[in-house]
Structure 1
Amino acid sequence: MPRLAKGVLLAAGLGTRLIPYSKEMPKEMLPVFEGVNGKVFLKPVIQVIFEQLYEAGLREFCFVVGRGKRVIEDHFTPDWGFVDYLERTGKEEYAALLREFYRKIESSYIAWVNQPIPRGTGHAVYTARMFVGEDFFVVAAADNVFLGENVALKLVSFSEKHGSPMLAAKRVRDPRKYGVIVGRSVGERIYEVEGIVEKPTKPVSDLANASLYVFPPEIFKAIEETKPSPRGEIEVTDSIQILLSRGFKFYAYESTADWVDVGTWEAFFRAMVLSLKHSGGYNLVADVLGILGDK
């Protein structure tokens, strides 16, 4: 199997659970903390995901966006004049962060695809078919991320070694909120996937699908055959089921790292606190908890 080079970042969701903030500002641009050279900085969650995919060896990216997401395109368009301004005004640390980010952008191929009406994850993936062609590719939901481990790198390494599609997974307390993976263990934190059940009322597993995938190109044919779910969306998990029924083998990697999303204010608050912990800002975490405990 050739090296994986292509990644698709899904950023077309409306973020309705974050209105009014998300009316014009994409939830994927919400910040999380990241430690760099012993200091703590803020980065948009979609940038963190892009940089993890870049570190996993990907150099071709397709962003699936919708109306109101132009700010994402602006963020991924280098502004060297602003870098010069930061340097002139003595803000070298911030200039260095942008220089490194822009270096990654300029050494990548980036395409933009529009999904004007959100019709589910499967349909969002399908919009990138012309970009993908006949290659294996990585898909990442751009509003959630693993902290403390580059799980994309784990998936890419396993997939390249074994030539197989992959899913990221995480143990959760309440499986009823997630699509859960049913499978059998075939190695340390590696499972052969037997099925995926969306938001089960009676949990059949506590291993949640974490919306990070390595897909074969055949996923597009499966998406074409996927019927809308009861909520009227094309679910990519249903498309995976179609491939499983045809003998495709999917494997899941179970990460023990923190998995966070920014889809609700509660989840965003958790993402901020956990990313602050991972960034090395332990004293700031204590300060925040101290403030919350003040009478």
Structure 2
Amino acid sequence: MKALVLSGGAGTRLRPITHTSAKQLVPVANKAVLFYGLESIAAAGITDVGVVVGDTAEEIREAVGDGSKFGLDITYIPQERPLGLAHAVLIARDYLGEDDFVMYLGDNFIVGGITDLVEEFRRTRPAAQILLTHVSDPRAFGVAELGPSGQVIGLEEKPERPKSDLALVGVYLFTPVIHEAVRAVRPSWRGELEITHAIQHLIDAEAEVRSTVIGGYWKDTGNVADMLEVNRTVLEGVERRIDGEVDAGSETVGRVVVEEGARVVNSRVVGPVVIGSGTEVRDSYVGPFTSIAENCRIVDSEVEFSILLRDSSIEGVGRIEHSLIGRHVRVTTAPSVPSAHRLVLGDHSKVQIHT
């Protein structure tokens, strides 16, 4: 069995971060989202992995390498443009051959991994197996309709009037019959080859399509709010570890990780928090659910429920929260200017100004 990991896509919902970085490499708890997926695949006993890459291919290659650090054998599959999930399967045909495979979206996060799902698929081998979860607004997802006995009877991509609240999670398992299905579908109104259409083709051909409704945690980390929520979830599982320097004037409370080479000086850190190597926190407060990457500086500031990427600094800022701050960013106080009101008032106006 192989895996196909999708790491192309423009990541428009995470701009401006993704103007200069692959969305799959944005870190949660100081580790790239993509790495969690690769570790889940390795834990499920799959070693051969094809990674579909697009405009950010060079950055993905540099971060993942040959896959050996994950216990994987990585093959990169270039995709000229992100033309849909079914298109990714189409261009990976030679690599996948006649093997069963799991398709994993590289910007998705699933607590608990996929080992049980893979084992079930290996046992039963339906034509396709999909993961579903209940969502509050299914219009933003692929949506499944189930029959009376729980069988999948229909799929729609981002429907205006969803027939259920069951959204497809970004993990799919297929036997080689999917290759005929992806060749049979035509571009949708979005101009993409939709995997939902390919799976619907299997359903129409009376092939067995099974579903598993997951009760655990899943997120598509496509926007800032979801990134921060995933970061919170991962940090809840960290264990306290102080490998760096914390001076006598500082206090660390709860599940705090201070990596080797990091320094906390005259500051208060309330976990769960991760502080990366080479980072300095001085005269500051770092609050719960915050990840600070390597070689950052937090000086005379407060930061909480945020992600700070490497080589960035926050100095002299009263408080920052619910924020995602990119690499090589400087956040400082603005110069003081006199307070004033600028007015253009018509005749007979009446204005009240609080002073």
Alignment correspondent of 1:91: none
2:264 maps to: none
Tell me if 1:201 matches 2:163: no
* Deviation of the 1:77 alpha carbon: 2.1
Q: 1:75 to 1:20 in 2, by over 3 A?
A: same
Question: Structure 2, unaligned stretches of length 5 or more?
Answer: 240-254, 257-269, 274-286, 290-301, 306-317, 320-355
Do residues 220 (structure 1) and 179 (structure 2) align?
A: yes
1:154 CA displacement: 2.2
Select the structure of larger CA radius of gyration.
2
1:284 has 2:254 as partner:
no
Q: Which residue of 1 aligns with 2:194?
A: 235
Letter in 1 for 2:194: E
Q: Are residue 163 (structure 1) and residue 125 (structure 2) matched?
A: yes
**How does the TM-score come out when normalised to structure 1?**
0.79
Q: Once structures 1 and 2 are overlaid, which stretch shifts more, 67-76 or 114-123?
A: 67-76
TM norm structure 2: 0.66
What RMSD in Å do the two structures reach over aligned CA positions?
2.3
Higher relative contact order (CA 8 A, sep 6+): 1
1:268 maps to what in 2? Answer: 227
Distance 1:270 1:227, change over 3 A: same
Distance 1:276 1:216, change over 3 A: same
Residue 167 of structure 1 contacts residue 253 of structure 1 at CA under 8 Å; is this kept in 2? yes
2:100 paired with 1:104: no
C-alpha change, 1:291 and 1:117, in structure 2 (3 Å) is closer
Query: Residues 1-295 of structure 1 correspond to what in structure 2 (within 5 A)?
Result: 5-33=1-29, 42-77=30-65, 102-105=68-71, 108-147=72-111, 149-150=112-113, 152-164=114-126, 165-184=128-147, 191-279=150-238, 281=255, 284-285=271-272, 287-288=287-288
Change (3 A) 1:170 1:185: farther
Q: Counterpart amino acid of 1:229?
A: S
- Residues of 2 paired with 1:15 and 1:210: CA distance? 18
What's the offset of the Cα at 1:261? 2.3
The alpha carbon displacement at 1:241 in A equals 0.4
In the superposition, relative to structure 1, how do residues 103 and 292 fare at CA in structure 2: closer, same or farther (>3 Å)? closer
Given residue 65 of structure 2, which amino acid in structure 1 is its aligned partner? T
SS in 1 for 2:219: strand
Q: Which runs of 5+ in 1 are unaligned?
A: 34-41, 79-100
Aligned amino acid, residue 130 of structure 2: L
Contact 1:10 1:125 in 2 (8 A): no
Change (3 A) 1:278 1:229: farther
Alpha-carbon distance in structure 2 between the residues aligned to 1:278 and 1:194: 38
Q: Distance in 1 between matches of 2:164 and 2:197?
A: 17
Q: Does the C-alpha gap of structure 1 residues 8 and 185 become closer, same or farther in structure 2, counting only changes over 3 Å?
A: farther
Provide Cα deviations, 1:193-247, integer angstroms capped at 9, x if missing partner.
1111222222311111002010121212211111111111110110100011111
Structure showing the higher helix proportion among its residues: 1
Contact 1:155 1:167 in 2 (8 A): no
Structure 2 match to 1:92 = none
Asked if the contact 2:109–2:230 (Cα under 8 Å) also holds between the matched residues in 1, the reply is: no
CA displacement at 1:276 relative to structure 2: 1.6
- The amino acid that maps onto 2:10 is L
Q: Over residues 76-112 of structure 1, what are the superposed CA-to-partner deviations in whole Å (9 max), with x where a residue is unaligned? A: 227xxxxxxxxxxxxxxxxxxxxxx84434xx32110
